[in-house]
Structure 1
């Protein structure tokens, strides 16, 4: 990625990156230089959690609030130079640790509970949505990298999928911010619209829960929408959504393999070296397995969920601190039209599959 510090730093940013390819990190750089930026992103994430306590704001996730605060700081007063190394660290290391910890929210038993039919609906919906979005992006002229981010965010799990996918897609910060914004807005719309439709569509609680889990973007949005139709729909929708999140791992690995192949075909050996297998995804898979074998106490798991959300919020705060709003405006409405088309596709396609398997 030419400007996104999650995967590498180049140009003017390279001077601030403590993780350049092939370069050792000095102890002074990792302590004295990185901590100020880490504390800044943590402060923004903390502010996002506090803001969610205000009336009406609780509907927004702390992740989207964090990126909005970061964008505001960067575009109003500028990101301080002393914070740059810590911002890079939050975007690289803290982000990947948070994605690994997502594995502790999933178990193999949850997947079994969804059943073969439910898993088939979720998997087919994910694959079809991703391929449709990529095809549609090419058709209307949206850049490949931004298209992949919107496709991942829509087909898997919103903002978390966007930033995880960008570790191999290597898009610009503005592309990531745009993708996060669109999938968050459209997922929020689904959260309010879906509960109005079960009666009209003649969906049982089980079918409605599966539809919600297979098609709404964020976990929190699924929970909010599904539980409005009762506990049965809410619990099954949540499990279906978590099973869908598990599919983030094979998606990111597949995209990493395609990125490496593109680099080889173009003869860009440097690009090939910068498109490695995303190791952190294997950490995610290991924790899913561990969580399936042992019982993590509920209070410990609850604390891990909060910590994971906080770290993801730190990563998005750092992304906001690197995002130029003028570049977002320059992208126009085509990417939003793409996200809207993907949103409508996943809602309709998954509904047809749910009806067929009901």
Structure 2
């Protein structure tokens, strides 16, 4: 990156201004995502090489920070309620996804990564499972691009649909956790709906993320890759520790509230960086067939989970 060139200085200036804007209340997560995308589209991203790692680290810190605003008793209750739902939805989504991929004659590894990203936790699942199936760079790029496009759309569409269908906060929180791909957009969408929706969505989504471990083990056996290491999302355990601290040390409540506020701002910046990572090249890489598989699978899990949630959760 030629940081001394006038062109790059202008890019850095604009990106810095928008990152600062992310700290203000009027700059919501969807606006941050869209701003990042538009800035990259018209100016380019001066931090392209560092955006991915910065996004991952900032997202993990933000999620752990949100734990300081949650109660462990409520989280355990939510986790129990969503456990069976999680198992059934992950299994069903993987099976349907692979069937659709076969129907469309999509590369086996690409189809599996798109299905896994939809079923578990978006880009994190794809990143964890790619080495297990020995996926190539193109297969990984196509899968990530497909999931990322749909994930970005979900951040805008789900809150609107939640109000259209008159969903309660528990219903919307559970729906977000099941039907939206990445943790970032799950939390971003739920945050717009309310605090209760945010707590439920975050808890259930992180519970789903832990399924990367057993799915990785089974995948290694199916793809006959015994040498692969299972990627464990360790930050989830820090999230649990934060909930425990908030639940059993009420004297620190004022400090915890500040941490939660900073975590929400960090999430907004994360979504800005995610938007900045959506380039013309990534849109082209998605391709018609993989994108069609992603859309159909997304519609399937969204509609089915919504029907079940409306009829089982008050």
- Normalised by the length of structure 1, the TM-score is 0.62
Q: Deviations over 1:103-127 (max 9, x none)?
A: 12025953523673x4433333333
Task: Say whether 1:277 aligns with 2:250.
Answer: no
Structure 1 segments, 4+ long, off by >6 Å, are 39-42
Q: Which runs of 5+ in 1 are unaligned?
A: 1-15, 17-31, 153-160, 226-233
Matches within 5 A, 1:1-358: 44=15, 47=18, 50=21, 58=28, 60-63=30-33, 65-67=35-37, 69-70=39-40, 72=41, 87-92=48-53, 94-106=55-67, 110-113=71-74, 116=77, 118-141=78-101, 143-152=111-120, 161-170=121-130, 172-186=140-154, 188-198=156-166, 208-216=168-176, 217=180, 218-225=186-193, 234-258=194-218, 260-261=220-221, 265-266=224-225, 269=227, 272-273=228-229, 275-294=230-249, 295=252, 296-311=255-270, 313-315=272-274, 317=276, 319-321=277-279, 323-330=281-288, 331-354=290-313
Question: Equivalents in 2 of 1:352, 1:162: separation in Å?
Answer: 26
- Tell me the matched-pair count: 280
Report the RMSD for the aligned CA atoms in angstroms: 4.1
1:48 and 1:66 in contact (8 A); partners too: no
Question: Equivalents in 2 of 1:45, 1:165: separation in Å?
Answer: 30
1:95 and 1:312 in contact (8 A); partners too: no
Question: Equivalents in 1 of 2:51, 2:34: separation in Å?
Answer: 16
SS at match of 1:333: helix
Question: Equivalents in 2 of 1:101, 1:190: separation in Å?
Answer: 21
Question: Equivalents in 2 of 1:284, 1:192: separation in Å?
Answer: 28
Q: 1:246 to 1:61 in 2, by over 3 A?
A: farther
- Normalised by the length of structure 2, the TM-score is 0.69
SS at match of 2:95: helix
Question: Equivalents in 1 of 2:240, 2:16: separation in Å?
Answer: 26
